[in-house]
Amino acid sequence: MTSLKKSLAVSKALRSIPSSRAPETLLPAVMRRVGLADTYWRLESPLGPVFVAHSKAGISMVSRAKSDADFERSFERRYGRRAYPEKSVPPAAVRALVRHVRGEERRELSFDLRGLSEFERSVLLKALEIPTGEVRPYSWIAKEIGHPQAVRAAGTALAKNPVPLLIPCHRVVRSDGRLGKYSMGGARNKRTLLQIEGAHPETLEKLASSGVRYLGNSKGMHYCYPTCGGIETLVESNTVPFHTDAEALAAGYHPCSDCRPLAIAS
């Protein structure tokens, strides 16, 4: 062979070195990092499979859906951007989600609530403060965020919660003891979740139907929402039922500093 021919053979051999296919994870990761799309996992929950989407800002959507395509459609309808599936969930993320749901660590996850109004955001962040195993009425949320009149609006904001289960809107119930609506599959699911979390919805309903809103502790002389610190600790012999704040105050009890039953404004 002449040297020219040999050179051609060498360059031809170089050209024939095959290229690799980019891994499937590359495109979703890039799109999420530049903020043009979110990625999502499919996880098991007490309510069956759920889809959890996250952007670079945080978790953006939790929803039950029939299929990937179903979820992607509803995601795109809500946010106007795409969601790509992630085949595997990083173990660290699973651990963080579990810790969060169990209430062991509530500040670890970040949420992408950019599409919401200031009011809606403050309602959801307030709901995030309700510990596992406890519930608060809608009016408590409204009072705590400084809009005591906006009870109904707080309910509407909770109904729009893009990240149910993780921001526990299921822990917000009606003042009359009924559990109220639930965006993720209706009231029955709300009951299921509260049962799993140990909030004893039946006991709560029984108390509420007899008009009891608060339980006072005769040792510490303070009164609480029935689930404060876990319902078991309060449904004891030294508890005193109260129907209103006024009744409790008149009996010499002061509002608990953990669950803050009394309106801040008053």
Question: Where in the sequence numbering do the catalytic residues fall?
Answer: 169
Q: Applying CB under 8 A, does 172 fall inside the site for other proteins?
A: no
Q: Applying CB under 8 A, does 2 fall inside the site for other proteins?
A: no
Q: Applying CB under 8 A, does 18 fall inside the site for other proteins?
A: yes
Residue from 2, 20, 88, 237 binding other proteins (CB under 8 A):
20
Q: Applying CB under 8 A, does 141 fall inside the site for other proteins?
A: no
Using CB under 8 A, which of the segments 30-38, 164-172, 183-191, 227-235 binds other proteins?
A: 30-38
Alpha-carbon distance of 100 to 166, in angstroms, equals: 7
Least distance from other proteins to the Cβ atom of residue 93, Å? 18
Which amino acid makes up residue 62? V
Three-state DSSP class for 260? Answer: coil
Q: Applying CB under 8 A, does 88 fall inside the site for other proteins?
A: no
Alpha-carbon distance of 261 to 135, in angstroms, equals: 12
Place of tokens 């403050």: 122
Residue from 27, 159, 251, 264 binding other proteins (CB under 8 A):
27
118-127 vs 151-159: helix axis angle to the nearest 10? 80
Three-state DSSP class for 225? Answer: coil
The answer to whether 56 touches 33, Cβ cutoff 8 Å, is: yes
Per-residue x/- marks for other proteins, 47-86, CB under 8 A? -----------------------------------x----
Count of chain residues binding other proteins (CB under 8 A) = 27
Place of tokens 């999502």: 40
Residue from 33, 114, 181, 254 binding other proteins (CB under 8 A):
33
Whichever of 5 and 66 has its CB closer to other proteins, that residue is 5
The answer to whether 54 touches 40, Cβ cutoff 8 Å, is: yes
Q: Applying CB under 8 A, does 16 fall inside the site for other proteins?
A: yes
Other beta carbons less than 10 A from residue 22's beta carbon: 9
Q: Applying CB under 8 A, does 6 fall inside the site for other proteins?
A: yes
Whichever of 7 and 67 has its CB closer to other proteins, that residue is 7
Residue 263 burial by Cβ neighbours in a 10 Å radius (0-12, 13-18, 19+): middle
Alpha-carbon distance of 255 to 265, in angstroms, equals: 14
Task: Give bridge partners of residue 216 from the DSSP assignment.
Answer: 223, 240
Least distance from other proteins to the Cβ atom of residue 84, Å? 10
Using CB under 8 A, which of the segments 10-18, 38-46, 154-162, 202-210 binds other proteins?
A: 10-18
Least distance from other proteins to the Cβ atom of residue 37, Å? 8
Helix, strand, coil percent values for the chain (each to nearest 5)? 40, 15, 45
Q: Applying CB under 8 A, does 257 fall inside the site for other proteins?
A: no
Chain residues that interact with other proteins, rule: CB under 8 A: 3, 6-7, 10-11, 13-23, 25-27, 29-31, 33-34, 36-37, 82
